[in-house]
Amino acid sequence: MSLLEIKHVSGGYGEVDIISGIDMHVDPQEIVTIAGTNGAGKSTLIKAAMGLLPRISGSIIFDGTDLLALPIEDRIRVGISYVPQVRNVFGALTVLENLQVVEHATNKQARIREMFDLFPALAGRRAAYAENLSGGERQQLAFARALMSSPRLVLLDEPSAALSPALTDQVFMEVKRLRTIDVAVLMVEQRARQALAFSDRGYILDSGRIVLADTGANLLANEEMSDVYIGRGQAPSGSHPSHHPA
């Protein structure tokens, strides 16, 4: 049974549909990448799953729960976390406060210690305001904040946005690490070639519709689609998915 099941979802911010007739799923512990051209509706799809889209139709089921019936604040309770593309931490709060403020974390103090173990760079910066962190630290904090509630699915909106290539590699390492702690990932990524290289599956979005769904490896191997939607370039070596082939 899929962890997240999106069926016939359409919606947008105004009267015009940005995404239309979306059908997709994410299985437990799976990394799924949504790729596509600029303006294809990738981030809108992620926002729809998190409840941040003003108008939406269809159904989004998470582990048997109808998400569309839940307010945003309750989605974290059923096991979903979200890391936005920009402003993904509370800049005016310290690192520690960013973690403390997350609701639905059982045994919050112990969970914070776990997060500092998982992201040791943050432990020494716990009193620093998030707005003063470096790009890499900030992204780690965004991940830690998202993991505070022990989610089973993390929605990532372009985690490598505005990061240097070195930091991008570091962030992708963190994404891969999520699978090892039993967390599934649904990720929108502009650097799709790199992301698909370690994703179990991928969806290609164009003008708000899914035009192709396949394993990450097969999508990268499809030269025609790859040139149009993913961009040329080489995927990093040794980045093949380790489990859950579609």
Applying CB under 8 A, the span of 27-35, 98-106, 171-179, 195-203 interacting with another protein comes to 98-106
The smaller minimum CB distance to another protein, of residues 24 and 76, is found at 76
Amino acid (1-letter code) at residue 156: L
Applying CB under 8 A, the span of 27-35, 83-91, 169-177, 204-212 interacting with another protein comes to 83-91
Residue 79 to residue 64: CA distance in whole angstroms: 12
Cβ atoms 192, 23 nearer than 8 A: no
C-alpha to C-alpha distances, 1 to 61, 110, 243, nearest whole angstrom: 11, 31, 17
Size of the site for another protein (CB under 8 A): 27
52 contributes a contact to another protein by CB under 8 A? yes
For residue 87, list its beta bridge partners. Answer: none
Sign of the four-CA dihedral 61, 66, 69, 72: negative
Binder of another protein out of 27, 63, 97, 169 (CB under 8 A): 97
Residue 78 to residue 203: CA distance in whole angstroms: 24
The smaller minimum CB distance to another protein, of residues 85 and 226, is found at 85
3-state secondary structure of 17: coil
Least distance between another protein and beta carbon 89 (Å):
8
233 contributes a contact to another protein by CB under 8 A? no
50 contributes a contact to another protein by CB under 8 A? yes
3-state secondary structure of 10: strand
**Residue appearing with tokens 């962890």:** 3
10 Å Cβ neighbour count for 31?
28
Helix pair angle (135-147, 108-118), 10° resolution = 140
User: Between residue 7 and residue 46, which ones bind another protein under the rule CB under 8 A?
Assistant: none
Residue 155 to residue 146: CA distance in whole angstroms: 9
Binder of another protein out of 91, 124, 135, 231 (CB under 8 A): 91
211 contributes a contact to another protein by CB under 8 A? no
Mask for 188-207, x = binds another protein (CB under 8 A): --------------------
161 contributes a contact to another protein by CB under 8 A? no
Applying CB under 8 A, the span of 7-15, 88-96, 184-192, 215-223 interacting with another protein comes to 88-96
162 contributes a contact to another protein by CB under 8 A? no
* Contact set with another protein (CB under 8 A): 50, 52, 72-77, 81-82, 84, 87-93, 97, 100-104, 131, 145, 149
